[in-house]
Amino acid sequence: MADEPSAAESAADSAAEIEPDYRFTLANERTFLAWQRTSLGLLAAAVALVQLVPELPIPGARRLLGVALGALAILTSGMGLLRWHQTDRAMRRDQPLPRHPTPAYLAVGLAVVGFIALGLVIAKAVTG
């Protein structure tokens, strides 16, 4: 397995790591927890949409929107974990913090779901 680091390389990597200021470590953890809360909120919205919202004019649209919110919840949770790990590693190696397009993806995904939901609600109001 040529891609795996040797024991000497692993030891050199861990020797190069420093313990960051605990305030930065805790800030990184709080950011991770914010991503997880966002994910939990999206999951709760998906369940509420499917279980509590009346049927929309297009059959199955309610479930489709619920699935979209559920998928955003899963992606948000996973990306929060990835970002926490990458940021922690960068801090310990005194490297620049990684930049991710994840917030933009989340914003676009929520905007798309919101516009579709708004369009369906308006269609239901117009058609009665």
What is the per-residue pLDDT across 20-60, written as a single tens digit (0 to 9) for each? 999 999 999 999 999 999 999 999 999 999 999 888 888 99
Residue 44: inside a domain, yes or no? yes
Residue 11 lies in a domain: no
In a domain, 89, yes or no: yes
Say if 76 falls within a structural domain.
yes
How many CA atoms, within 13 angstroms, populate the side-chain half-sphere of residue 82? 11
Rounded mean pLDDT of the chain? 89
CB neighbours (10 Å) of residue 114? 11
Residue (of 87, 79, 67) closest to 36 by Cα position = 79
Q: In 3D, which of 91, 104, 79, 116 has the Cα closest to residue 28? A: 91
CA atoms within 13 A on the CB side of 85: 6
Rounded CA-CA distance 67/74 in Å is 11
Distance CA 36, CA 70 (A): 13
Segment among 15-29, 83-97, 105-119 with least mean pLDDT: 15-29
Query: Which pLDDT value is given to residue 93?
Result: 96
Asked if pLDDT for residue 113 goes beyond 70, the answer is yes
pLDDT of residue 4: 62
Tally of domains within the chain: 1
Residue 103: inside a domain: yes
13: in domain: no
pLDDT computed for residue 75 by the predictor: 96
Quote the domain boundaries for residue 41.
20-127
112 lies in a domain? yes
Residue 103 has pLDDT above 80, yes or no: yes
Percent of the chain with pLDDT over 90: 73
1 part of a folded domain: no
Residue 49 CB-density burial (10 A; 0-12 exposed, 13-18 middle, 19+ buried): buried
Residue 15 pLDDT exceeds 90: no
